[in-house]
Amino acid sequence: MKEMNRVLDHYNSKVYKNRKEHMVAVGNNDNNNEILANVRTIPGIITQRGCCYAGCKGVVLGPIKDAFIITHGPIGCAYYSWGTRRHKAKKGEGEDNYLQYCFSTDLQESDIVFGGEKKLKQSIEEAMDLFHPHTIFICSTCPVGLIGDDIHAVAKWAEKEYGIKCIAFSCEGYKGVSQSAGHHIANNQLMKYVIGEGDREITNKYSLNLLGEYNIGGDGWEVERLLKRIGYEVISTFTGGSSMDDLKNSHQANLSLVQCHRSINYIAELIETKYGIPWMKINFIGVEGTIKSLRDIAKYFNDPALTARTEAVIADELDFIEQDIEYYKSKLKGKTAAIYVGGSRAHHYQFLLNDFGVRTILAGYEFGHREEYEGREVLPFIKPDADSKNIESITVEPDPKKYHLYLSEEDINKLKEEKLIGYYGGMVKDMKNGTYMVDDLNHFETEEFLKILKPDIFFSGIKDKFVAQKAGVLSRQLHSYDYSGPYSCFRGAVNFARDIAMGIYTPAWSYVKAPWKAAPILEGTVGGEEA
Ligand code: CFM
Ligand code: HCA
């Protein structure tokens, strides 16, 4: 609490009041660990957040390998989202893979003045001539919304003209307070126009959707390898490495697993209502987290042979990594960490750090909502504001032909009561008293918390990693994994520990002294006095 106040004390009263509500000294407040989240950042503050377009095109749609995505707007937004997120995909036989590409209408001033629809149509014509895609997505950036191009009409035209699937996403950057709005827009359109359209023959009753897994650094591949070893069939992964056909068939699964709750919870719930498939929050980051997730899934399917296979695979995978885990534990035990990322990893990576005896003393999300901090039990108490109402909230009905229940309604209700399915408890329950949760952490607060809490390592993204390094603190990127990975499941845990240990035992940044700390770099006078 004291440390938090030392950071806040630098602010004027207005900013103080606002930022205080975004900070929680866990277990040491009268507010039941309540936090303010998913609201606008104060203008002028250096936030780490991205925009609605980043959440829609960059995060949810980007990893679909055979959707040809056209960013409709000036070139900068498309360029920024070109390959930086490291979502990997393999091209299957007869499939397209556009992930290496970046397509944009590259709007110019004259298009902004006279309208960009013509150029969008031309781009689609060009795409059809050169690549012959079966699916085109159109994603709007800010100016498109401002000038009023009707991208949905263009999408309808393209479907008719070429007999392809063409979906428009009005995900202008300004639409929400963060990436989170873009996730929602992407989820809505996928639900309306993609999910449920497939008729692939599925014979394995242990069939899963892996929701909220984007295959960053190959994480999703490692999860799939493990699940397949046990005997599951992963019908679709939303959306890491998936094809359109995978997503179209997701309505056939018997259980949806949710890795990242923030970005995909809308689809998880809508799929349950429309097709009867319950969802289970799992976490494949961390050895203990992975073991618990595998056991929970086996519990749902409730087959002694599957449970036995689950245990055999767990034992074998543990055997494979045991020596490495012990070695890295001896290197990392007792260290402390701060984690600040988007909407779910700040929670998940605490499990992995725990496996090696590293304590997380500060954690926060850029754009997680209150339920990612406090758990879904707070949902009824969250008041929608003008920004959240800005995004359409769709409803669906049970599909008369495709609705199916794997378990009886009674069993499903029982598992819901046990919170095995349909529930996410959020981050705070896994954080120790005396640690800190901070929402929408900014550069200034990062600098201050690093000085006060002195973590051994700061996990963040590209924009704030330099704040840590300049402060002499080791930084690792938990978005891109600094070009490493996978970090998921058993074997990923070893990759992670190896990378962290290398950093901790190469404390280069603590040897660097900023030039202005050694000698003044500015000369001049202040009010006539020597500065
Ligand atoms: Fe979910 Fe993600 Fe994340 Fe996210 Fe992201 Fe990401 Fe992230 Mo970067 S979907 S919320 S919008 S886990 S891109 S793969 S790393 S901020 S913590
Ligand atoms: C995004 C994508 C991002 C950015 C990462 C970072 C990602 O939010 O637009 O800031 O380093 O994971 O690539 O979160």
Tell me what pLDDT residue 523 has: 77
Could you confirm whether 52 is annotated as catalytic?
A: no
CA 180 to ligand 2 center in whole angstroms: 12
Within-domain flag for 342: no
Query: What is the residue whose two structure tokens read 């035990």?
Result: 333
| Residue 70 bridge partners (DSSP) | 103, 138
> Closest by alpha carbon to 224, among 494, 480, 489, 497?
489
Is the pLDDT reported for residue 266 higher than 90? yes
Helix-, strand-, coil-residue percentages of the chain, each rounded to 5: 45, 15, 40
Q: Looking at residue 216, what DSSP letter applies?
A: B
Q: Are residues 208 and 110 in the same domain?
A: no
Within-domain flag for 33: no
Please say which residue of 152, 170, 193 terminates a domain: 193
- Of the residues 40, 85, 443, 491, only one is catalytic, namely 85
Q: Are residues 81 and 205 in the same domain?
A: no
Nearest CA to ligand 1 atom 15: 479
Q: Are residues 174 and 216 in the same domain?
A: no
Q: CB under 6 Å to ligand 2: residues?
A: 50, 54, 58, 84-85, 179, 342, 461-463, 477, 479-480
CA–CA separation, 129 and 403 (whole Å)? 39
Cβ atoms of 478 and 339 within 8 Å: the answer is yes
* CB neighbour list of residue 398: distance below 8 Å, 6 or more residues apart: 273, 274, 275, 276
Q: Are residues 243 and 101 in the same domain?
A: no
Tell me what pLDDT residue 492 has: 98
- Of the residues 25, 37, 54, 67, only one is catalytic, namely 54
Q: Which atom of ligand 2 lies closest to the CA of 54?
A: 9
Cβ atoms of 495 and 285 within 8 Å: the answer is no
CA 344 to ligand 1 center in whole angstroms: 7
Is the pLDDT reported for residue 530 higher than 70? no
CA 196 to ligand 2 center in whole angstroms: 30
Is the pLDDT reported for residue 531 higher than 60? no
Q: Are residues 97 and 167 in the same domain?
A: yes
Residues 137-162: tens digit of each pLDDT: 999 999 999 999 999 999 999 999 99
> Would you call the peptide bond into 239 cis, given omega within 30 degrees of 0 as the criterion?
yes
Q: Are residues 122 and 220 in the same domain?
A: no
Task: Write the CA distances from 372 to 108, 184, 342, 368, integer angstroms.
Answer: 40, 15, 11, 6
Q: Are residues 231 and 183 in the same domain?
A: no
Is the pLDDT reported for residue 105 higher than 80? yes
Could you confirm whether 229 is annotated as catalytic?
A: no
φ/ψ of 135, rounded to 5, equals: -140, 130
- Of the residues 51, 168, 186, 346, only one is catalytic, namely 51
Nearest CA to ligand 2 atom 9: 54
**Ligand 2 pocket: which of 180, 480, 483 to mutate (most atoms <8 Å of CB)?**
480
CA–CA separation, 456 and 486 (whole Å)? 23
Tell me what pLDDT residue 155 has: 98
Within-domain flag for 34: no
Type of residue found at 94: G
Residues 343-358: tens digit of each pLDDT: 999 999 999 999 999 9
Q: Are residues 208 and 242 in the same domain?
A: yes
- For every residue of 51-85, DSSP letters joined together read -HHIIIIIIIITT-TT-EEEEES-HHHHHHTSSTT
Task: Give the model's confidence band at 2: pLDDT under 50 very low, under 70 low, under 90 confident, else very high.
Answer: confident
Q: Please give the residue range of the domain that contains residue 283.
A: 194-320+384-423
Is the pLDDT reported for residue 524 higher than 80? no
Is the pLDDT reported for residue 507 higher than 60? yes
- Of the residues 19, 183, 184, 369, only one is catalytic, namely 183
Task: Give the model's confidence band at 525: pLDDT under 50 very low, under 70 low, under 90 confident, else very high.
Answer: confident
**Ligand 2 pocket: which of 49, 84, 239 to mutate (most atoms <8 Å of CB)?**
84
Q: Which atom of ligand 1 lies closest to the CA of 367?
A: 10
Q: What is the CATH number of the domain that holds 249?
A: 3.40.50.1980
ipTM: 0.98
Within-domain flag for 94: yes
CA 41 to ligand 2 center in whole angstroms: 17
Q: Are residues 290 and 211 in the same domain?
A: yes
Q: Are residues 78 and 189 in the same domain?
A: yes
Q: Which atom of ligand 1 lies closest to the CA of 343?
A: 10
Alpha-helix runs per DSSP H in 96-179: 109-114, 117-131, 142-147, 151-162
**Ligand 1 pocket: which of 180, 214, 462 to mutate (most atoms <8 Å of CB)?**
214
Within-domain flag for 470: no
CB atoms within 10 A of CB 109: 8
Within-domain flag for 304: yes
Could you confirm whether 54 is annotated as catalytic?
A: yes
Is the pLDDT reported for residue 8 higher than 80? yes
Residues 414-453: tens digit of each pLDDT: 999 999 999 999 999 999 999 999 999 999 999 999 999 9
CA–CA separation, 297 and 292 (whole Å)? 9
Q: Domain total for the chain?
A: 2
Q: What angle do CA 380, 382, 383 make, to 5 degrees?
A: 115
CA 345 to ligand 1 center in whole angstroms: 7
CA–CA separation, 156 and 67 (whole Å)? 16
CA 461 to ligand 1 center in whole angstroms: 10
Task: Write the CA distances from 347 to 116, 245, 259, 328, 362, integer angstroms.
Answer: 42, 31, 11, 21, 11
Within-domain flag for 492: no
CA–CA separation, 353 and 346 (whole Å)? 11
CA–CA separation, 83 and 95 (whole Å)? 20
Q: Are residues 188 and 208 in the same domain?
A: no
Please say which residue of 362, 393, 423 terminates a domain: 423
Weakest mean pLDDT among 9-13, 21-25, 64-68, 521-525 = 521-525
Tell me what pLDDT residue 518 has: 85
Q: Which atom of ligand 2 lies closest to the CA of 49?
A: 8
Q: CB under 6 Å to ligand 1: residues?
A: 55, 59, 85, 179, 212, 214, 216, 260, 262-263, 341-345, 479
Average pLDDT over every residue of 458-478: 95
Q: Where is 340: in which H helix or E strand?
A: strand 336-341
CA–CA separation, 407 and 1 (whole Å)? 47
CB atoms within 10 A of CB 335: 18
Please say which residue of 129, 160, 193 terminates a domain: 193
Tell me what pLDDT residue 510 has: 86
Task: Write the CA distances from 495 to 174, 180, 226, 316, 498, integer angstroms.
Answer: 37, 29, 16, 18, 5
Tell me what pLDDT residue 78 has: 97
CA 284 to ligand 1 center in whole angstroms: 15
Question: Whose atoms come closest to the Cα of 368: which ligand?
Answer: 1
Crossing angle of the two packed helices 489-504 and 287-301, in degrees rounded to 10: 170
Within-domain flag for 81: yes
For 177, the 3-state DSSP assignment is coil
Q: Are residues 181 and 222 in the same domain?
A: no
CA 297 to ligand 2 center in whole angstroms: 30
**Ligand 1 pocket: which of 184, 282, 479 to mutate (most atoms <8 Å of CB)?**
479
Type of residue found at 19: R
> Closest by alpha carbon to 19, among 379, 424, 438, 356?
438
